[in-house]
Structure 1
Amino acid sequence: MTLISEAVKHDHRELEDAYNHILSATTADEKQRWQNQFTWELARHSIGEELILYPALEKNLPNGKEMADKDRAEHQIVKELLYKFQALKADDPNFTPTIKSLWTKLCEHIKEEETQDLMALEKTLKQNDSEDMATKFKRTKKFVPTRSHPSAPDKPPFETVVGLMAAPIDRLMDMFRKFPTDTS
């Protein structure tokens, strides 16, 4: 079974991989595919954290509310940058600077989350509770929006309601977007 910290870190590595693919892509089509993949991963990951991880921080840690509020504020900045990035075409001169700026902010957040938040939370959880959270985190990502919606609420239950309304539209539009394949 996977612990919540392992599930979150796994997502972080997938985001890093997509980011590196964006920068190393040699064609506009390949960049666009990886842009879509990065956006899809980050949008789902962020909402998963906001619905599962941050409430657990608030519940289990003495300074958890402050930690969660700080993380939500960092997420808001990242969501706004992602919203801007997801609308760019690969040949736009702002494409690379925007993803680099986004990654810089995201990377700071990831480092802090992995070295502080997740470690502190795991110390308070029993193994089976952490595993249950990881399962909920993974399951939640199947039902949330796949694009950034920075004006949406970031705290349950409102985020859940807005997410459930936006998710079908995002998923429908994803059917018309290109994503990386084994051959691209």
Structure 2
Amino acid sequence: MPFLTQAARPSTRLALHLFKPTTIRSLAAMSMSTISDAIKKDHQEIKTYAENIRTATDDDSKVRWQNQFTWELARHSIGEELVVYPAFAKHLGAKGQEMADKDRDEHQSVKDLLYKFQKLSPTDPSFTPTLEAIMADLTEHITGEENDDLPTLEKALEREDSESMAKSFGRTKAFVPSRSHPSAPNKPPFETAVGLMTAPIDHLGDLFRKFPDKTVSPNPSTK
């Protein structure tokens, strides 16, 4: 990304992961999908990770899926705020700005809960209730996006513009923070600036966190 300074770049190990062949193929595949396809794919993965936390039979597995869930949800939320929500305003005018403002408010609630959840141990009594609170808010948000917001946006876009936005969304997610920072600005350009300062710290921490086996994660060599 041209706006990254030397100081803001992730570690070499992380950079190699981001641009390894499997990641490049994933971005290439996303470029052939619409922005709605890309968003819905993320939504399904987030739901799957939450269910994997619920059904994990030991604390180690719960922690791994907790980290995967946090990693995906944090990146997805910021990717939408940087790429998708500005497109609402650009292509849909005042109605689109209302949609973007509503979705950002919903994201803020999820970010606040995720910030708490990402630090909890599975043995904490609030672990499961916090996860369920996140998913309750998120389910309502996802329903509104998939049934109303995204179809409205797609009607205003040419197919190639939607595909280009999906590609931009995927690339953006590779460089944003991977943990929740609810006090950070949620609108560009300030969100972009804060994200570029915060992301390398999050990505470095990811190298030392446990993630599930055979999942796309920042530290696949950590088992």
TM-score range, shorter chain: over 0.9
Aligned partner of 2:48 in structure 1 is: 17
Q: 1: distance between equivalents of 2:213 and 2:48?
A: 14
Aligned partner of 1:3 in structure 2 is: 34
The 5 Å alignment of 1:149-160 reads: 149-160=181-192
Q: 2: distance between equivalents of 1:105 and 1:125?
A: 28
Which runs of 5 or more residues in structure 1 are unaligned? Answer: none
Of the candidates 60, 74, 81, which is equivalent to residue 43 of structure 1? Answer: 74
Task: Report how far residue 91 of structure 1 moved.
Answer: 1.0
- Counterpart code for 2:67: N
For 1:21-41, what per-residue CA distance to the aligned partner results, in whole angstroms no more than 9, with x for missing partners?
000000000000000000000
- Counterpart code for 1:5: S
Of the candidates 125, 134, 139, which is equivalent to residue 166 of structure 2? Answer: 134
Q: 2: distance between equivalents of 1:165 and 1:115?
A: 35
Aligned partner of 2:83 in structure 1 is: 52
Of the candidates 93, 96, 99, which is equivalent to residue 64 of structure 1? Answer: 96
- Counterpart code for 2:167: T
Q: 1: distance between equivalents of 2:128 and 2:33?
A: 34
Report whether the alignment pairs 1:91 with 2:123: yes
For 1:70-120, what per-residue CA distance to the aligned partner results, in whole angstroms no more than 9, with x for missing partners?
000000000000000001011111100000011000010001000000000
Runs of 4+ residues deviating >3 angstroms: none
Q: TM-score, normalised on structure 2?
A: 0.81
Task: Report how far residue 182 of structure 1 moved.
Answer: 3.7
Aligned partner of 1:32 in structure 2 is: 63
Task: Report how far residue 61 of structure 1 moved.
Answer: 1.1
Q: 2: distance between equivalents of 1:90 and 1:40?
A: 17
Q: 2: distance between equivalents of 1:119 and 1:28?
A: 40
Q: 2: distance between equivalents of 1:75 and 1:103?
A: 12
Q: 2: distance between equivalents of 1:28 and 1:71?
A: 33
Q: TM-score, normalised on structure 1?
A: 0.98
Report whether the alignment pairs 1:74 with 2:103: no
For 1:118-153, what per-residue CA distance to the aligned partner results, in whole angstroms no more than 9, with x for missing partners?
000000000000000000000000000000000000
Aligned partner of 1:123 in structure 2 is: 155
Q: 1: distance between equivalents of 2:103 and 2:50?
A: 21
Q: 1: distance between equivalents of 2:142 and 2:199?
A: 25
Q: 1: distance between equivalents of 2:55 and 2:92?
A: 40
Question: How many percent identity over aligned positions?
Answer: 63
Aligned partner of 2:9 in structure 1 is: none
For 1:129-183, what per-residue CA distance to the aligned partner results, in whole angstroms no more than 9, with x for missing partners?
0000000000000000000000000000000000000000000000110000049
Aligned partner of 2:198 in structure 1 is: 166
Q: 1: distance between equivalents of 2:152 and 2:173?
A: 23
